[in-house]
Amino acid sequence: MVNLEQANELLAEFNAIANTKKHQPFDKNDPLKVGVDLGTSSIVLAILDQDNKPVYGSFEFAEVIRDGLVVNYVEAVQIVSRLVREAEEILGVEIESAATAIPPGTVGNDKKIVSNVLESAGLMVTTVVDEPEAAACLLGLTQGAVIDVGGGTTGISVIENDEVVLTLDEPTGGTHMSLVLAGYYGISVAEAELLKRDHDQEKTNFIIIKPVVDKMAAITERMLEQHPIEPLYVVGGASFFEEFAPTFSKYLGMVVERPDYPQFVTPLGIAKASGDSKYAE
């Protein structure tokens, strides 16, 4: 059973830490659980203690990944190194290993390269988990589906009896919302990205980008035709809009929940999965 209230508390705590870079008290004798999420729009470092309480977090916006693929290796390594070294300084401990994640369906070299980024940044990779699986891990979801709407893609994982039984990843994400806004107003994508996040413009923005949300809901609907399942959880930064989950819910005629600070669900889930034998390679 998902305890959304508990997940939201953890997410709010992590959000506060990641935006101030102040760490929470922790026992230096206990190993930390470290997760690195290499996303299309940001790289997030999440650190939990053994009881899965947030200790530290940080992130950098970066465009080093596209549709789950590393497109700027050197910069990705530089950012991960920077986040880790800074965390070590602030926490006063050495960070030697971490878990990371890949979009569902990533195989072979594309999968390996994600671990290589961490290794080049001086980290031993303990665990490589599927992104939506990481999200499910954070939520404690053992039955249902997670729809992770990030920058580049919509990734879906169906979970039954605590096992992932179906995954898919489609190239429609928050970037496509920005493209639609840019086209509508005749502005650059960078300007549209800022406008999209302007809370005061949220209602108008949502009307313009709604076709993209409907497309994401249609992707989910196709998955549900293949494999009916409930409950549904949407996560990922692109689900930030207040109307996002209700729009999904209306489209699908089902209850759709969205945790608070949805951009941090996957990174925190990666850290939580770290060292867990269930997710070991």
Ligand X SMILES: Nc1ncnc2c1ncn2[C@@H]1O[C@H](COP(=O)(O)OP(=O)(O)OP(=O)(O)O)[C@@H](O)[C@H]1O
Interface with ligand X (CB under 6 A), residue from 26, 34, 39, 146: 39
What does 126 interact with, of Mg ion, ligand X, none (CB < 5 to 8 A by kind)? none
Is 153 or 220 the residue whose CB approaches ligand X more closely? 153
Query: How far is residue 28's CA from residue 26's CA, in Å, rounded to a whole number?
Result: 6
Strand order of the sheet with strand 42-48? 54-61, 42-48, 33-38, 97-102, 124-130
Enumerate residues 52-81 that contact ligand X by CB under 6 A: 65, 68
Q: Compare residues 141 and 177 and give the one whose CB is closer to ligand X.
A: 177
Q: Footprint of ligand X on residues 123-182 (CB under 6 A)?
A: 150-153, 173-175
Binding mask 132-171 for Mg ion (x = CB under 5 A): ------------------x---------------------
- 247-254: long-range contacts at Cβ-Cβ below 8 A with a sequence spacing of 24 or more? 247/210, 247/213, 247/214, 247/217, 248/147, 248/213, 248/216, 248/217, 248/220, 251/214, 251/217, 251/218, 251/221, 252/217, 252/220, 252/221, 252/224, 254/230
As measured in angstroms, the least distance from the Cβ of 45 to ligand X is 13
List the one residue from 39, 54, 174, 259 that touches Mg ion (CB under 5 A): 39
Binding-site member from 100, 127, 172, 263 for ligand X (CB under 6 A): 263
* Residue from 14, 233, 240, 248 binding ligand X (CB under 6 A): 240
Specify the residue, 68 or 144, whose C-beta has the smaller distance to ligand X. Answer: 68
Q: How far is the CB of 37 from ligand X (least distance, A)?
A: 6
- With CB under 5 to 8 Å by kind, the binding choice for 174 among ligand X, Mg ion, none is ligand X
Query: Across the strands, what pairs with 112?
Result: none
Query: Which residues of this protein are in contact with Mg ion, per CB under 5 A?
Result: 39, 150, 266
Query: Which residues of this protein are in contact with ligand X, per CB under 6 A?
Result: 37, 39-42, 65, 68, 150-153, 173-175, 193, 196-197, 236-238, 240-241, 263
